[in-house]
């Protein structure tokens, strides 16, 4: 089954499964099989923002005054987030668009990936402000061992899916005696539609874990700095990013739950059951990696209000919440939020603050916003 950019088959999109049905032809949004994806598109569009709207010029001073170990925490988090959004800016498109069958879901995936590219652009915005030449930071992302460990784990599921789908779309699945499928490990593998669907399921599990917990260690650190009135420009950007990520997470939770509850492709419901343990393992692995990341962040010392222990507890706490949301038992004993103040940074309608408050982003498009001291007005006479 080759991919076509416009299938002339007159199909009813309301009867297609989310993935592996007929390719989408008419991009129509007057009717939806799953209304939630249409709502997500609208919400994401209404959230649109640009990094340049946020003034980060004062962050440079704050950053320069940080002790070395706090600079390490700040920069490492930015590097990790740059990696995550580099992957998320392209992978949903590459992996999911060739196999999606619903117009609203197709557009949601595009909208989702686009918003991730805005996040990537905002990291450049932040780093360009902190360093005259940010190349060293960007170059370390592919060399840093700690980041690499995570990168391989995240991109692996995408790559496996993309590779098998490409084979299927090029050769079809009925011709495997003549053209063998050699998977990414260099081994011969017999592909079936079901085995590719399984790869899709695991890929969404991994993406869900990424959106659910991987970002939150960095978020917590950024907000902890801002609670001390440090690096507030950065925190404003991270707040907008966190708001977007909550939407992305909702979409992956929706997909997983729709499958598991048998509201879509019945074969996916079977696979959800079959891969239940594997899905949990993916989640627990991500939680473990994030705890290791916290250890790496605080290797030279903690920051005020946050240390490795608290951050690890938060990883466990948020993992519990996220796993319950997709039908798993809470795996960790933590039952209360160790850093309850973070919730106030995650409120979405709080993002627009009253304009009289300093540095409100919507009034700063293309403006210079520096501190005005009352001294500056001392020569004023009325």
**Cα-based distances in Å from 238 to 150, 223, 273, 287:** 21, 8, 36, 21
Could you say whether residue 257 binds other proteins (CB under 8 A)? yes
DSSP β-bridge partners for residue 182: 188
Site string for other proteins, 345-374 (x = CB under 8 A): -xxxxx------------------------
Sequence-ordered list of residues with C-beta below 8 angstroms from that of 147, at least 6 positions apart, any chain: 79, 80, 83, 140, 141
How many residues bind to other proteins according to rule CB under 8 A?
25
DSSP tag of 306: B
Helix, strand and coil in the chain, % to nearest 5: 65, 0, 35
Establish if 325 lies at the interface with other proteins (CB under 8 A): yes
Q: For residue 101, give the DSSP letter.
A: -
User: Is residue 66 within the footprint of other proteins (CB under 8 A)?
Assistant: no
Under the criterion CB under 8 A, does residue 96 sit at the interface with other proteins?
A: no
Half-sphere exposure of 110 (CA within 13 A, CB side): 12
Query: How far apart are CB 105 and other proteins at their closest, in Å?
Result: 14
Q: Nearest-CA neighbor of 280 among 321, 212, 326, 246?
A: 326
Q: Nearest distance from residue 342's CB to other proteins, in Å?
A: 9
Radius of gyration of the chain (CA): 23
Kindly indicate which of the ranges 55-63, 115-123, 124-132, 343-351 contains the residues binding other proteins, using the contact rule CB under 8 A.
343-351
Specify the stretch interacting with other proteins by CB under 8 A; choose among 19-27, 134-142, 149-157, 253-261.
253-261
Cβ 202 to other proteins shortest distance, Å = 19
Per DSSP, the three-state class of 342 is helix
Min separation Cβ 339 and other proteins, Å:
12
Stretch that binds other proteins, among 118-126, 199-207, 318-326, 367-375 (CB under 8 A): 318-326
Closer to other proteins by Cβ: residue 63 or 108: 108
Q: Measure the CA–CA gap between 121 and 363, rounded to whole angstroms.
A: 20
Judge whether 123 counts as a catalytic residue. yes
Question: Per-residue string for binding with other proteins, 10-49, x by CB under 8 A?
Answer: --------------------------x--xx--x------
Q: What whole-number distance in Å separates Cα of residue 339 and Cα of residue 68?
A: 24
Catalytic residue among 3, 29, 80, 123: 123
CA torsion angle for 251, 235, 56, 147 (degrees, to 10)? -70
Catalytic residues: 123
Q: Provide the binding-site residues for other proteins, judged by CB under 8 A.
A: 36, 39-40, 43, 243, 246-247, 249-250, 253-254, 257-258, 261, 321, 324-325, 336-337, 343, 346-350
């Amino acid at each position: 089954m080759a991919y076509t950019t416009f299938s002339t088959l007159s199909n009813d999109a309301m009867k297609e499964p989310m993935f592996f049905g007929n390719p989408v032809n008419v991009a129509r949004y007057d009717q939806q099989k799953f209304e939630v994806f249409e709502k997500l598109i609208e919400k994401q569009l209404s959230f649109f923002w640009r990094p340049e709207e946020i003034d980060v010029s004062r962050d440079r001073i704050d950053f320069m005054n940080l002790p070395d170990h706090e600079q390490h925490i700040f920069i490492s988090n930015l590097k990790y987030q740059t990696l995550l959004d580099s992957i998320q800016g392209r992978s949903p498109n590459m992996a999911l668009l060739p196999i999606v069958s619903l117009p609203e879901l197709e557009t949601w995936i595009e909208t989702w990936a686009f918003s991730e590219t805005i996040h990537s652009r905002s990291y450049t915005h932040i780093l360009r402000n902190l360093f005259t030449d940010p190349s060293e930071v960007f170059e370390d992302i592919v060399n840093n061992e700690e980041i690499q460990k995570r990168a391989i784990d995240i991109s692996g599921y995408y790559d496996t899916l993309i590779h098998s789908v490409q084979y299927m779309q090029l050769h079809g699945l009925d011709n495997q005696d003549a053209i063998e499928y050699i998977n990414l490990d260099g081994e011969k593998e017999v592909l079936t539609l079901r085995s590719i669907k399984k790869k899709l399921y695991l890929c969404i599990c991994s993406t869900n874990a990424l959106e659910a917990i991987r970002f939150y260690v960095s978020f917590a650190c950024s907000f902890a700095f801002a609670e001390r009135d440090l690096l507030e420009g950065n925190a404003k950007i991270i707040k907008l990013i966190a708001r977007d990520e909550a939407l992305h997470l909702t979409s992956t939770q929706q997909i997983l739950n729709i499958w598991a509850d048998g509201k879509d492709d019945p074969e996916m419901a079977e696979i959800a059951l079959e891969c239940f343990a594997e899905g949990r393992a993916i989640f627990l692995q991500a939680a473990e990696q994030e705890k290791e990341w916290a250890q790496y962040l605080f290797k030279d010392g903690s920051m005020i209000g946050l240390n490795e222990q608290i951050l690890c507890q938060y990883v466990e706490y948020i993992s519990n919440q996220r796993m319950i949301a997709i039908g798993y038992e809470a795996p960790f004993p933590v039952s209360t939020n160790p850093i309850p103040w973070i919730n106030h940074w995650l409120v979405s309608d709080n993002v627009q603050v009253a304009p009289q408050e300093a540095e409100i982003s919507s009034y700063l498009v293309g403006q210079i916003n520096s501190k005005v001291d009352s001294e500056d007005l001392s020569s004023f006479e009325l």
